[in-house]
Structure 1
Amino acid sequence: MKVEVLDIHGKETGRKIELSDTVFAIEPNDHAVYLDVKQHLANKRQGTHKSKERAEIAGSTRKIKKQKGTGTARAGSIKSPVFRGGGRIFGPRPRNYSFKLNKSLKRLARKSALSIQAKDNNILVVEDFNFDAPKTKNFVAVLQGLGVENKKSLFVLGDLNNNVYLSSRNLKRAKTITNSGLSTYEVLNANKVILLESSLEGINQI
């Protein structure tokens, strides 16, 4: 499929570029997308949750009342989970939530995500640009030129460009990554995916 190349002002340059049908026009695999997004979110979890169990509570070890004759249940420790301030039964423990996915499945998920966005006309191809210095207002001008200032946008660069990256870092709705860092979650989480020309060579080879 061929798409028009835009400049940073959102105007057509008169050039068209070929997007690989094997990446941008496949039948999306919903389950692969689900698994890749699930893994992305699971990997972001810290897993540092912890509550104290019975053996970790600081408290007296004496038997709080006699075993028989009280008419109530037996109780041997103030640290029992049935008492206020006692330990928690089967409480959360630190754990690692990450899990493994095959590389082929992750590639399929990324292709599916790009195909979904392409089908919805949410992908723009923009000629490469650079800034002389990191300036947020310069990046805002690019967003306004492309008409995406009020939308969540994902800019995909061919190589890391510090001036462009730093210019976008303070903007809540804009994110800049390189094609090597492209993920299914980031693609689907954006309202518009803006691909710079230099990024297409790497993306077409996913």
Structure 2
Amino acid sequence: MKVKVQTLDGKAAKGAELELNDEVFAVEPRADILHRVVTWQLEKRRATARGTRERADVARTGKKFGRQKGGGTARHGDRRAPVFIGGGKAHGARVRDFNPGLNKKVRALGLRMALSSHAKAGSLIVLDNLAIDAKTKALTESFTKLGVGKTLVIDGDAVETNFALAAGNLHTVNVLPAIGANVYDILKHDTLVLTRAAVEKLEARFNG
């Protein structure tokens, strides 16, 4: 499929059309695959609590330390009980595994489907490059000309420095290098902006 290549000013760039690889940008999206990949990503982000020592984990004596009757206190027989200082924690936090697995082929397919979903919806914009002065006002005007809303911008090996500085003050614009492209971030934005370098890197990622 062919797309128009623009500049940040919304004008046609030199070499105004770019041929996109259909195996990357023209895959029919499937909700079940996208759901699996997004769920996997969010589960991978979860951090587990530090496990606490419960009654069985505390190293204290189990010997009965008082008489059963006549002591005037409760009939305890174990210093590891939660009511004592230094005893085990009652119903403490336990280490849980939030590190699910997902087949690499499914993850790759999900990313291709996420990219294709924007191409199919017409919300994919390809820019020649991200060269701009490090001014947020100038970048805001550029995005106004492009007519975009909540936007994810993906560049090549690294995001152009001035662009990253200018976009840092815009809460509707997020930037990523090509290596950081992922299904969750792509799907949660209304518009996907790729540079020529990003397209080359993404296509090489799947063809390699």
Could you tell me which residue of structure 2 aligns to residue 89 of structure 1?
91
Aligned partner letter, 2:196? E
State the distance in 1 between where 2:142 and 2:50 align: 42
Matched, 1:22 2:23: yes
Shift of 1:157: 0.5
**Aligned equivalents of 1:88 and 1:143: distance in 2?**
56
Alpha-carbon contact 1:56-1:87 (below 8 Å) kept = no
Q: Structure 2, unaligned stretches of length 5 or more?
A: 70-74, 83-87
- Correspondence for 1:204: 203
Report how far residue 193 of structure 1 moved: 0.1
In structure 2, the residue matched to 1:135 is 135
How far did 1:123 drift? 0.6
What's the secondary structure of 2:98's corresponding residue? Answer: coil
2:116 partner amino acid? S
Amino acid across the alignment from 2:12: E
Task: Measure, in 2, the Cα distance between the counterparts of 1:191 and 1:91.
Answer: 39
Equivalent residue number for residue 71 of structure 1: none
Match of 1:146 in 2: 146
Kindly report which structure 2 residues correspond to 1:29-40, keeping only aligned pairs within 5 A, or say none: 29-40=30-41
Superposed CA RMSD: 3.5
SS in 1 for 2:18: strand
| TM-score, L = length of structure 2 | 0.74
CA distance in 1, matches of 2:50, 2:122: 42
Would you say 1:121 and 2:122 are equivalent positions? yes
Q: CA deviation at 1:172?
A: 1.6
Cα 1:169/1:98, change in 2 over 3 Å = farther
> 1:4-41, CA deviations, whole angstroms, 9 ceiling, x for partnerless residues?
11221223347111111111111223333222212211
Three-state SS of the structure 1 residue aligned to 2:198 is helix
Check whether the contact 2:49–2:94 (CA below 8 A) recurs between aligned residues: no
**Which string of whole-angstrom CA distances, capped at 9 and with x for unpartnered residues, describes residues 29-60 of structure 1?**
33332222122112222223667755689xxx
> For the structure 1 residues 140 and 76, does the alpha-carbon distance in structure 2 shift closer, same or farther, using more than 3 Å as the test?
farther
Alpha-carbon deviations, 1:122-166, whole Å to 9, x = none?
A: 11111213134x333332222222122xx2100010131222222
* Equivalent residue, structure 2, for 1:110: 111
Change (3 A) 1:18 1:100: same
Q: Which amino acid aligns with 1:184?
A: V
The whole-number CA distance in structure 1 between the counterparts of 2:162 and 2:13 is 24
TM-score (norm 1): 0.75
Question: In structure 2, do the counterparts of structure 1 residues 76 and 119 end up closer, same or farther at CA, with 3 Å as the change threshold?
Answer: farther
> Which of 142, 157, 160 is equivalent to 1:159?
157
Cα separation, partners in 2 of 1:46 and 1:136, compared to 1, 3 Å: farther
Give 2:47's aligned residue: 46
- What runs of 5+ residues in structure 1 fail to find an aligned partner? 69-73
